[in-house]
Amino acid sequence: MAPHDLRRPFKRPAISDQQRRRELSLQRQSQNRRDAQQQARCLASSVLSLQSQYPDPVPELEIEPESQPQQEAGPLTKDLDIRQASKLRGPEVRKWFASQLMLPEWMIDVPDRLSHDWYVFARPAGKRCMVVSSNGTTVSRERNGSILHHFPSALPSGARTKDPSGSAQSYCILDCIFHELDQTYYVIDMVCWRGYSLYDCTAEFRFFWLNSKLAETGACDAPSHYHKFRFSTVPVYDCDQRGLYSAYIESVPYAKDGLLFYNKHAHYQTGNTPLALVWKDEKCSQYVIDTDSKGQVLSQQQIIGAKPELRQLVVLELQEDGKLSTSDDPPVIFGCLDGEFIQKSGLQSGSLLKFAIGNGGLSFVDGKLEKSDLNYLGKSNRARMFADSYSKVIFQYMVRHTPLKFDDLLASVSPSDDEENKPCDVEMVD
Amino acid sequence: MAMEVTQVLLNAQSIDGTVRKHAEESLKQFQEQNLPSFLLSLSGELANDDKPVDSRKLAGLILKNALDAKEQHRKFELVQRWLSLDANVKTQIKTCLLNTLTSTVADARSTSSQVIAKVAGIELPQKQWPELIVSLLSNVHQLPAHVKQATLETLGYLCEEVSPDVVEQDHVNKILTAVVQGMNASEMNNDVRLAATRALYNALSFAQANFSNDMERDYIMRVVCEATQSAELKIRQAAFECLVSISSTYYEKLAPYMQDIYSITAKAVREDEEPVALQAIEFWSSICDEEIDILEEYGSDFTGNSDIPCFYFIKQALPALVPLLLEILLKQEEDQDQEEGAWNIAMAGGTCLGLVARTVGDDIVPLVIPFIEENIAKPDWRQREAATYAFGSILEGPSPDKLLHIVNVALSFMLSALTKDPNNHVKDTTAWTLGRIFEFLHGSTIGTPIITQANCQQIITVLLQSMKDTPNVAEKACGALYFLAQGYEDVGPSSPLTPFFQEIVQSLLTVTHREDAGESRLRTAAYETLNEVVRSSTDETAPMVLQLVPVIMMELHKTLEGQKLSSDEREKQGELQGLLCGCLQVIIQKLGSSEPTKYVFMQYADQIMGLFLRVFACRSATVHEEAMLAIGALAYAAGLDFAKYMPDFYKYLEMGLQNFEEYQVCAVTVGVVGDICRALEEKILPYCDGIMTQLLKDLSSNQLHRSVKPPIFSCFGDIALAIGENFEKYLMYAMPMLQSAADLSAHTANVDDDMTEYTNSLRNGILEAYSGIFQGFKNSPKTQLLIPYAPHILQFLDSMYMEKDMDELVMKTAIGLLGDLADTLGSNAGSLIQQSLTSKDFLNECLSSKDHMIKESAEWARLAINKAISV
């Protein structure tokens, strides 16, 4: 039995470069394997992501889908085709793009379990847009589909520079608000990240992902040659009393335009959704009362007998049978034009028409719209893509008559407020 | 029955090659014709005191080799062969072996000891040869010293060969008693005492119960410590070896003895001869190893089986231990840095000092700084070297804040010493220390950078200059540059190295061409540094990396032009090809990772592939592996274009998959199959029959190292994902293998961390295979083929969930698979999932996981499952 050798490595690094080469190869291979697997699953989710076909995870808030005109007209896939679509031109693509954003309804009553199931944050004032980075360039498109900027960015595949992930599949889609004053894209939601679709992930996960991933790319850094605009996240709070208060009162680097509420369990659902809500008052927005596209309060129309600041305009879509409907799915009917008038005015079904709400106002029975006093003003601006939503009309109506106040919101999330104890419906009578 | 073998055994050791060969042939024939008779003859020869010692020794050696082999499967065969021998034959052989222990010929006794241990290694686990230990123990009390000595030696070998759980505690107690008595100072015969001390070294792992008993432990420790004071060097050395072994096996029992052990070891380090002093230092290094492990486990708040607390022995010994180690740093040998494999007391002391620094961190700094300051500028090179070595040793462990000040002060001194010091040894250590500075105190995680615009130029100039120094110094300078570049790996679009890039690359290439680049590993270091410089390069220097491609290709081409090579030259050529292929691999991976550079690089693809194929034709294991890795990177970069290389490349791919012996080569090749699957997608189909056949063979082989099996399963997934429903024809082979592997891995004994880790990697491979297969079949009319496998998969997931020992990666892959199953099978899976025991709990647990990868997969799985259930 000989003595045992006790030599230890002397002046040598613990890992050889050969070992390192092996390990780096293995890392690359397993990353590539994950990418391939992910891609296969994305192909699956493209079929799965027509959420409207399947029960929503939060059934009590679900809207029964009756028809799916957008899905039938537009491409079936979302994340895969959005990259194609970003290269297209013309009115069709504008329409297509316009339908890709998740649009909040206006908050006309306080949802149950606000403090448990919802986030709140101060919405930046600015242009809502979809930012797509892919193949070494970044394109932002406004809600109406028109291109806002075409620029290099530090987002994955957002510029023609070294991309550490190295994958050509690593495109991203972000839901942003472009804030003119500091030339910053405020990212309010993440739709796709490095080729991975987040459409079918909960808001809780999307926000978590957004906060953990965006900064690490350098997209939040100051602008540079390869990174023309700064991106930024917004502070998101749990919608308890403190969070609500913080979102409402605390100063942020951007001008606020109301508060946005997101249901934690909601997936990214394109179009209007009751799982995201917007609310505003004068303190947290300059634009509480309806504004036109230039941000001017609409006041020039003379509606006899109404106080000028309370005049309310609505845009509704003319249906084939003469009914006037909102942009909701299913649409809500606000009234009807008679055939003779339609003919005389040369209006066609599908037209967007502008009305003022007259002295008769809106009447409700059991919380449902029963009657509305509408005065026809004319055709809507051609830039408009959609009629107003029901919640917008009602919110604007309430602002003018019985506004939902911040204190009401606070009260609904007060700790004393038992879960079972649902907030009362706001009375909506003229 | 036995046969006369003496002459043949002597002939087999003849200097005459022909005679030897003939004798070996006869022995082989004899063995094949009649194994029992052959073994009997050998044991008879070994036991016969009238025979020459040389034939007896060889007889014993052949016997030993008939019982054991290194290779696992061969060993298994030999064990089975012995067990199936006639019982009478075995008894006769064993009697011969035991008789030999009383022989007066020392070599015969010693050989027999080893053979007995081998037989015991086979028979004791089978509950055979129960009388062995009893009869050995009775020998210990026999008078002749040589019998005692042989018996203790046999017990030592036996403890090395046999696992503690097959020896009953009563026997363990008796063995230990005999051994410790033999070690006792009252034993006057040094041979007996040495044999006993060496036997204790192996018997220590049997002494778990005895070390838990205070009295027994005290007694063993006292005898060991006394043996370190023996007049006989070999006994002292063996006794310190026991202490080293105890320090790791029974760390938690050492507290009462540390004071005495410190005195004993310090005295040995200062006064005893080198072999003993080295063991004494090793004791402290080993304590450091233990405490580093324990503290690391604390750090990762791993509470599983880390019930051993840290006793902070090193921290307590620090004030005395550090001066001792610093003292012996001054005992360097001339030219120790140029000698391959040198090991002396100064080197051991420096290594131990480095371990102490890692163990205690900040506390070591104030104890070492005065030594550095006092000695670093002395005229005697030993003092300058020792001071520098001490400095380099403490750079890992203490916090950067504690070190930054002194490093900033020392940096310019070091740079000047590296150029001006007249002593080679000092320059070697200085360059090494600079490398350590860059390794541990430079990079994006360090707040205040030590390399600034002001000194960057000077540092690089000095390092490049030193690359022209003697090979050992130049090699360390390359190493320093390696870590300098590594610190800039994640620096962003613009690197401070950019202005020097061209010069650095040029200098490294010049080093590779030095006549003496074969010494001190210099050429290897230069290429490895080049690799790191390429890895840390940015867009700014991409054009220069591109220019490097034809240069390295030309070098590789030159290695292929050689005429007839001697075996020595062939080995050197193989090494160089390995380095060059490695370098190309790094370059391909770098340039392939961004679209514009990939596009330009691809113009070289045909030529590079041609070179790789010629390298394969040379056949050398390491080259094979490096070229294979490089081809994987090329396939990833080339994508579908890689298809054109497949006809020529395929045979080498198959060869790689068949390489059981060099399992690294096999593992690397399996990885490359995955790369090719993703590159070619369904175009890999024509090669799949061959690849699948080979992979299935690999899986059923018991020769192949087990670590390759999990990646092979993952590779099934890669293939299935690439060829989709065409995987149908492999289902009948792949699925049963997956199922039996799943059954095996579902319930683990959780013996140790290694086993748990292996089980998890196996599970991950299995799950990835299933995922790939299910995703591959999606939307095809053949999905119903997979339905029969679904219940088993769900049971597999259930059982893993219930075992509660999945790691994060397995959990993520597992929940993903549940989604894949639902996604592909739709309503067919829906009802199965609803009925399954734990799917719902598992999903919920993953949905609320803090690990975002798990959560991400779970979100997806929930969606797929909801759909499958609602349809």
Measured CA distances, B625 to B636, B664, B696, B821 (Å) = 17, 7, 21, 36
Which of B668, B860, B869, B870 to substitute to test the interface with A, most A CBs within 10 Å?
A: B860
Distant-in-sequence, close-in-space partners of B661: CB < 8 Å, separation ≥ 6: B703
Q: Is A280 helix (H, G, I), strand (E, B) or coil?
A: coil
Q: Tell me the chain A residues in contact with residue B636 when contact means C-beta distances shorter than 8 Å.
A: 28, 32
Residues contacting A20, CB < 8 A, separation 6+? none
Residues on chain A touching B482 (C-beta within 8 angstroms): 17
What SS3 class is residue A365? Answer: strand
Query: According to the model, what pLDDT value does residue A51 have?
Result: 29
Chain A nearest-CA residue for B428: A11
Helix then strand then coil, % of chain A, to nearest 5: 25, 25, 45
Cα angle, residue B538 at apex, residues B535 and B540 outer, rounded to 5°? 140
Closest CA to A409 of A204, A166, A242, A285: A242
The SS3 call for residue B676 is helix
pLDDT exceeds cutoff 70 at A429: no
Instruction: HSE, CB side, 13 Å, CA atoms: give it for residue B862.
Output: 23
CB contact under 8 A, B675 and A32: yes
How many domains, chain B? 2
Distance CA B413, CA B417 (A): 6
The whole-angstrom distance between B408's CA and the closest CA on chain A is 22
Question: In the prediction, which pLDDT does A14 show?
Answer: 63
Please say if the pLDDT value at position A232 is more than 80: yes
Pairwise CA distance, residues B709 & B728, whole Å? 22
* CB proximity under 8 Å: A 139-168 to B: 160-164, 166, 168
Strands A313-318 and A352-365: antiparallel
What's the gap in Å between the CA of B448 and the closest CA on chain A?
A: 21
Residue/partner pairs of B751-760 with CB below 8 Å, 24 or more apart:
B753/B305, B756/B805, B758/B706, B758/B707, B758/B710, B759/B805, B760/B805, B760/B806, B760/B807, B760/B809, B760/B810
CA distance B148 to B188: 12
Among A16, A41, A209, beta carbon nearest to B860: A41
- When pLDDT is cut at 50, 70 and 90, the band that residue A42 belongs to is low
Alpha-carbon span B298 to A191, nearest angstrom: 40
Comparing C-alpha atoms, which of B656, B647, B782, B670 is closest to residue B726? B782
Name the domain boundary from B398, B419, B435: B398
Tell me the one-letter amino acid at B280: A
Is B45 in contact with B96 (CB distance < 8 Å)? no
Phi then psi for residue B791, to 5 deg, are -60, -40
DSSP A90: H
Task: Look at residue B132 and tell me if it is in a domain.
Answer: no
Helices (H), B501-594: 501-512, 522-535, 542-559, 567-592
Q: What is the DSSP letter of A291?
A: B
Please report residues of A whose CB lies closer than 8 A to that of B582: 17-18, 21
How far is the C-alpha of B442 from the C-alpha of A110, rounded, in Å? 55
Those residues whose C-beta lies under 8 Å from the C-beta of residue A181, and which sit 6 or more positions away, are A254, A255
Rounded Cα gap, residues B95 and B115, in angstroms:
12
B439 touches chain A (CB under 8 A): yes
Contact assignment for B775 to A37 by CB distance below 8 Å = yes
B632, A25: Cβ pair inside 8 Å?
yes
- Strand pairing partners for A128? A177
CA distance B144 to B151: 11
What is the gyration radius of the CA atoms in chain B, in angstroms? 32
Of A4, A37, A41, which is closest to B241 when you measure between CB atoms?
A4
Residue B839 belongs to a domain: yes
Strand A368-379: give its sheet, edge to edge.
A333-336, A323-325, A313-318, A352-365, A368-379
Interchain contact, B852 vs A136, CB within 8 Å:
no
Asked, for residue B336, whether it belongs to a domain, the answer is no
What residue type is assigned to position B728 of the chain? E
pLDDT recorded at residue A286: 81
In a mutational test of the B interface, the residue from A5, A7, A10 whose CB has the highest number of chain B CBs within 10 Å is: A10
The domain boundary, picked from B383, B398, B413, lies at B398
Distance from CA of B21 to the nearest CA of A (A): 31
User: What residue in B sits closest to A208 (Cα-Cα)?
Assistant: B852
The β-bridge relationship of strands A230-233 and A196-197 is unpaired
User: B295 CB contacts (<8 Å, ≥6 apart)?
Assistant: B310, B359
> Minimal Cα distance from B715: which residue of A?
A33
Q: For residue B337, give the nearest of B82, B195, B522 by alpha carbon.
A: B522
User: Distance between CA atoms of B253 and B246, rounded to whole angstroms?
Assistant: 9
Place of tokens 């087999």: B12
**What is the overall mean pLDDT for chain A?**
75
| Shortest CA distance from A31: residue in chain B | B675
Residue B871: what pLDDT? Answer: 63
User: What pLDDT is recorded for position B750?
Assistant: 63
Q: b/e string for B344-361 if b means 16 or more Cβ within 10 A?
A: bbbbbbbbbbbbbbbbbb
| Beta carbon pairs, A and B, within 8 Å | 153
Count helices and strands in chain A by DSSP H and E runs: 10, 17
Strand partners, A190: A174
- Are A41 and B632 an interchain contact pair (Cβ–Cβ within 8 Å)? no
Determine, for residues B341 and A7 on separate chains, whether the beta-carbon distance falls below 8 Å: yes
Using CA atoms, how far apart are residues A208 and A408, in angstroms rounded to an integer?
29
Residue B216 inside a domain? The answer is no
Residues of B in contact with A22 (CB under 8 A): 629, 664, 668
- φ, ψ of residue A134 in degrees (nearest 5): -165, 145
CB B689, CB B677: distance < 8 Å: no
Question: What is the reported pLDDT for A97?
Answer: 64
Residue owning tokens 């800039």: B488
For residue B496, the model assigns a pLDDT of 92
Q: Do A1 and B593 touch (CB under 8 A)?
A: no
What are the helix and strand counts (H, E) for chain B?
A: 42, 0
Question: Token digits for B103?
Answer: 């022989």
Q: Is residue B87 a contact partner of residue B137, using CB atoms and an 8 Å limit?
A: no
Interface subset of A 44-63, CB within 8 angstroms of B: 44-45, 48, 54-55, 57
B583 touching chain A per CB within 8 A: no
Find, in chain A, the residue whose alpha carbon is nearest to that of B350: A10
Residue B632 forms contact with A (CB below 8 Å): yes
Reading the block at residue B833, the tokens are: 């999932």
CATH of residue B735's domain is 1.25.10.10
pLDDT at A49 over 60: no
Q: Where are the alpha helices (DSSP H) in B639-726?
A: 646-658, 663-680, 685-700, 709-723
Q: What is the pLDDT of residues A269-294, one digit of tens each?
A: 877 888 899 999 888 888 777 654 44
Q: Which phi-psi region, left, alpha or beta, contains residue A105 (left: φ > 0; alpha: ψ -120 to 50)? A: beta
Please answer yes or no on whether B594 and A3 come within 8 Å at the CB atom. no
Contacts with B, A 117-136, CB within 8 Å: 135-136
Q: Assign residue A126 a region: left if phi > 0, alpha if psi is -120 to 50, beta otherwise?
A: left
Name the residue among B287, B202, B284 with its Cα closest to residue B238: B202
User: Which site among A5, A18, A225 would you substitute to test the B interface, given the most B Cβ atoms closer than 10 Å to its Cβ?
Assistant: A18
Q: Is A115 a residue whose pLDDT tops 50?
A: yes
Is B168 inside any structural domain?
no
How far is it, in rounded angstroms, from Cα B657 to Cα B327? 54
Which residue stretches of A49-89 are H helix?
69-73, 79-85
Cβ–Cβ of B820/A1 closer than 8 Å? no
Confidence at A309, pLDDT banded by 50, 70, 90: low
Q: Which residue has the higher pLDDT, B676 or A88?
A: B676
- Token reading at B593: 């990772």
The C-alpha of A121 sits at a distance from chain B's nearest C-alpha, in angstroms, of 23
Q: How far apart are CA A397 and CA A430, in angstroms?
A: 10
* Contacting residues for B198 by C-beta, under 8 A, at least 6 apart: A1, B153, B156, B238
Give the model confidence (pLDDT) of B472-508 as tens digits: 999 999 999 999 999 998 887 889 999 999 999 999 9
Mean pLDDT by 10 residues, chain B (871 residues): 78 91 93 93 95 95 93 87 94 96 94 96 92 88 87 95 90 93 91 96 94 95 96 96 96 96 97 96 96 82 63 96 97 81 91 97 96 96 97 95 92 95 95 96 85 93 97 96 93 88 97 94 95 94 95 94 79 90 96 86 94 85 80 93 94 90 90 95 93 94 89 96 93 94 78 82 96 90 91 93 88 95 89 89 92 87 85 63
Distances (CA, A) of B176 to B171, B195, B209, B250, B405: 8, 13, 11, 16, 54
> Within an 8 Å CB–CB cutoff, is residue A24 touching chain B?
yes
- The answer to whether the CB atoms of B585 and A160 lie below 8 A apart is no
Give me the residues of B, 142-181, that contact A with CB < 8 A. Answer: 153, 156-157
Could you tell me if residue B374 is inside a domain? yes
The per-residue pLDDT for range A188-220, each reduced to its tens digit, is 999 888 877 788 788 888 898 898 888 888 899
Q: How many CB atoms lie within 10 A of CB B85?
A: 13
B528 contacts in chain A (CB < 8 Å): 16-17
Residue B82 maps to a domain? no
| Amino acid (1-letter code) at residue B247 | S
**Closest residue in A to B153 (Cα–Cα):** A1
- For residue B864, what are the domain limits? 725-870
- The helix (H) or strand (E) run that includes residue B515 is none
For residue A134, name the pLDDT band (cuts at 50, 70, 90): confident
Across chain B, which distance is largest between two alpha carbons, in Å? 89
What chain A residue is nearest to B434 in terms of C-alpha separation?
A11
* B337 inside domain: no
